[in-house]
Chain A
Amino acid sequence: MKKSSLWVLAALTAVLIAGCQNQRAPAEQAVAAADSSLTSTRDMAMRYAPDQLQAVDTQLNSAKDKLAKGDYKGVLADIPAINSAINNLRDTATAKQQEVQAANDKAKDAWGPMSTDVPKMVDAIQSRVDILSKSHHLPKGVTKDTLAAAKSSVDSMKAVWNDASTAATAGDYSTAVSKGQTVKDQASQVMHSLGMTSS
């Protein structure tokens, strides 16, 4: 090969390597910035948008793989979409967090009256069950099975109510109200079965 051709080949190779190296720093910085951005939103995203977080993680890991393999051009081509995905993830998680908070605030309002009413329902049932347990006979419409079922229900209602109260203490009013409503519905049924409606 002619000396001049060798020089041209060497020069072209140098330009190529320099070009690649010029993209290395921007690619590394872009990946680092995206990683940092995702980290700042990770906890919230894990709680409120876990599937979307997983998808973004996959995208970013792919870019990191390309970076490791020296595909800086590929990294730089992918970064805009990754950044957009991270922003979307943050928006989705924030919106979901606000939605959950609003629901919890609404549940907190419902918990107030429920927290006084439901225990009183259970107390009234417990009182009736205790008295009927001492009765030599049972009133019309109430069988031994009905009474046994009512006794069992009182135990389960107290257990579920305890869970509801624990949730409320922890600030999870949505769970508290859901469990509280379960107890309230069950209490209504038991009161009906024992003939506890007013005449």
Chain B
Amino acid sequence: MADEKNPAADNPYTQIHVVQSGDSLSKIAQKYYGDASLYTKIFEANRDVLSDPNKIKPGQKLRIP
């Protein structure tokens, strides 16, 4: 049904998280997946806006697959 490279990219039903001050991909993964180690899933889904998983900015809108 979807693009296999980044299925979340053009899916309007993919959840969006607006980065807050103090956020990290690990914290965000903990929040949505219950497991911080799954931060790579969030990074992969946002390669178009993130070049480094350790560098996220408040206000950024990240897809949460």
Q: Which residues of A contact B (CB under 8 A)?
A: 117, 119-124, 127-128, 131-132, 134-140, 142, 191, 195-199
Given A120-B11, A198-B17, 19 new contacts (CB under 8 A): A117-B12, A117-B13, A120-B2, A121-B13, A123-B11, A123-B13, A124-B65, A127-B8, A127-B65, A128-B15, A131-B33, A131-B41, A132-B33, A136-B37, A137-B35, A138-B34, A139-B30, A139-B32, A139-B33
Chain B contacts for A136, CB-based, 8 A:
34-35, 37
Is A195 touching B1 in the complex (CB atoms < 8 A)?
no
Cα(A123)–Cα(B30), bound, Å: 22
Chain B contacts for A197, CB-based, 8 A:
15
Complex partner residue of A134 from B2, B15, B18, B38, CB under 8 angstroms: B38
Chain A contacts for B65, CB-based, 8 A:
124, 127-128, 131
Is A139 touching B15 in the complex (CB atoms < 8 A)?
no
Cα(A123)–Cα(B7), bound, Å: 8
Cα(A134)–Cα(B33), bound, Å: 9
| Interface residue B49 (Cβ < 8 Å from any Cβ of A) | no
Cα(A53)–Cα(B2), bound, Å: 49
A124 to chain B, nearest CB (A): 4
B4 to chain A, nearest CB (A): 11
